[in-house]
Amino acid sequence: MTVRAGRAGSRAGAGAGGTAPTVLDPARIRNVVLVGPSGAGKTTVVEALLAHTGTIPRAGTIADGGTVCDHDPAAVRQQRSVALAVAPLMHAAPDGADTKINLIDTPGYGDFVGELRAGLRAADAALFVVPASAGREGPIDPATVTQWEECAAVGMPRAVVVSRCDHPRADVEATVTACQDAFGAGVAPLYLPLREADGLSGLYGLISQTPEGAAPPDADDARATLLEGIIEQSEDETLMERYLGGEEIDTATLVTDLETAVARGSFHPVVPVCAMGGVGLDALLELLVGGFPSPLEHPLPRVSGIDGSSRPPLTADPDGPLAAEVVRTSADAYVGRVSLVRVFSGTLRPETSVHVSGHVPRPATESDDTADEGGHDLDERLAHVYVPLGAQLREVEVCVAGDIAALTKLGSAETGDTVSAASGPLLLSCWNLPDPLLPVAVVAHSRADEDALGRTLTRIVAADPTLRLERNPETHQTVLWCMGEAHADVVLSRLRASGAEVDTEPVKVPLRATIRSPARVTGRHVKQSGGHGQYAVCHVEFEPLPRGSGFEFVSHVVGGSVPTQFIPSVEKGIRSQLERGLTDEHHPVVDVRATLVDGKAHSVDSSDAAFQTAGALALREAGQTCGTVLLEPLDEVAVTIPDDHLGTVLGDLSGRRGRVLGTDVAGPGRTVVRAEVPCTELLRYAVDLRAMTSGTASFTRRRARYEVAPT
């Protein structure tokens, strides 16, 4: 990497003219995910780089009706990116070798964290885009700090782009300081801005000290800080001593050590960029190529056989076993399902058979008895391999390890699935995704829309791993669990765009019921209508049990008053009535013990059906005799919050009838609050918690038990 600066010039890469950029050497590939808040200018930076290298004729905007980086109709309507998109370009390095850079644009809004994590999975380094006006507007957005911490948690190398340097309120120096305060040690400018009367005119390279004679007043101090940060990461232990002794360290050594420092994730260079004016784009390209690691240097996911058997660790070897992962699934009106894959090992070739390995099925929960049937293992045949450029697909002959490709018509492939050789199926370890915690109940607008809704739901859920579909058998509602309101809005937009007219309705929380006190009752079912009649009498004692006990059935019948073969019939009838409930709302009855103590039978007219009916009648009589009480579900929640918001969150939990169980330290400045909260109070908690904490808090929930609901 040659670190230099100046006015941006036009540079056409090998991807110009619409030709699909292809490389065969993983060392000449860079996968870079762009991260930052909404409105920071990530998409603008991507498109400026594409136009600067001749990959596209000009940079566009979402207001133009969609860009190469995000063609989702929901993005156009919301004026922001809502999905991950890949834009590859070719950069002609000074040594004459082309490097392919896959720019992975991700949404900045917190609801789309699934797209961000998919981008992190596909990338080898992250480029944080922070607007130059951020330094005047106070501290860095807390949600951006959370994203930074998320990248740090997975060991992702990071650099910072200060964007929108032509903004009227731009203050690059203040923004760099704000980044240092928010992101911690290791953040240092690689370039300083050069200004003219009309704005940013170029950059001054602190390593190369160019352009000559244009050094800003603070260049010496900034260069000293930069060099000390780089040299600290050098593998040459004598370098710091030589530098402090006054020796001039050559540029090549500094550039090599810069790459080492960035790859370790301990040093984060800052580059100012004015995307629309072209300033800083060359410097940014050189950083991406010379400062960021290639796929050969980035750790790869663990791999196993589809039966769970161990396999050797993967390497980014084009001749190794094929192992690719679907990081995003979308639908195209012309080609159908499109699977965006990152190839970790081996080479994808057209007209070959591959194996698609799905995830282990998610078990059913108490509130959702429909288990996830996403686990699958199927062989499919690849027809074509494409290089994606947003909405465009350009066919290529191969896609080697370390690169990103798009595959079409893989009917069984879902986001997170592994694509491997049919002769040697593999399964990559899953990446961590947050649970969707905002329920939205949807219903077809008319009977004519029901079939379209079912088909569309299946396709959308398969494409979005942060979306969960629940068909609740108690409330008879179809519930989409989303990440937040913006996510829900996008999902509904996609449903309607696919031709399914849907409405939303209030989410119902499934309640339970139990009896108030013990009672001894008689279930009597006697009918004579000519021929064989129906005769069954049972005397049953009912009593409430502690919460969570379920249902118990005991028989104390003596002397054969109820024939042995009909005792299970009484239990079956009671269980059936428990499920149907005792009131018009049909809430299931739980936590009850039924003891069969006596009864009567007829040698001819008694039957299994008669005693089932008698058992059900006995339970209904008990409900009328001793009354029932409603039970509401309680969830145990764990809320991870910055200490600054602890009091606000605790007060809010109290207002939701929550019972705080305790608190734990979750790291510097963060606390985990554990509490039990009624489910009815958590329907919009995902939205409210984000609003209370500026998007810096998260929570998990799991069913705890049922308790008596307030009257």
What is the pLDDT at residue 530? 66
What is the pLDDT at residue 59? 66
pTM of the model: 0.83
Strands across the sheet containing 502-505 = 468-472, 477-482, 438-444, 502-505
What is the pLDDT at residue 531? 67
DSSP 8-state secondary structure symbol assigned to residue 384: -
What is the pLDDT at residue 364? 38
What is the pLDDT at residue 546? 93
What is the pLDDT at residue 185? 83
CB-based contacts of 76: which residues, under 8 Å, 6+ apart?
Answer: 62, 65, 66
What is the pLDDT at residue 68? 47
The structure tokens listed for 316 are: 């980014």
Instruction: Flag residues of the chain having pLDDT under 70.
Output: 1-21, 59-82, 93-96, 197-199, 333, 359-375, 530-531
Burial class (CB in 10 A: 0-12, 13-18, 19+), 19: middle
Where helices occur in 97-250 by DSSP H, the ranges are: 113-122, 142-153, 172-183, 219-232, 239-244
546-561 tens-digit pLDDT: 998 999 999 999 888 9
| Residue in the block written with tokens 């009367």 | 197
Number of neighbouring beta carbons within 10 Å of residue 27: 14
What is the pLDDT at residue 585? 85
- Domains (ranges, CATH) in the chain? 16-227+266-296 (3.40.50.300), 303-428 (2.40.30.10), 438-505 (3.30.70.870), 512-626 (3.30.230.10), 630-708 (3.30.70.240)
Q: 46 phi and psi, to 5 degrees?
A: -60, -50
Give the span between the Cα atoms of 536 and 30, in whole angstroms. Answer: 78
CB-based contacts of 627: which residues, under 8 Å, 6+ apart?
Answer: 515, 516, 517
What is the pLDDT at residue 509? 94
| Residue in the block written with tokens 């704000």 | 178
Residues facing 129 on adjacent strands: 161
| Residue in the block written with tokens 């909260």 | 677
The structure tokens listed for 689 are: 């918690």
CA torsion, ordered 45, 51, 53, 57, to nearest 10 deg: 170
The structure tokens listed for 21 are: 């950029």
What is the pLDDT at residue 691? 92
494-507 tens-digit pLDDT: 888 888 889 999 99
What is the pLDDT at residue 333? 67
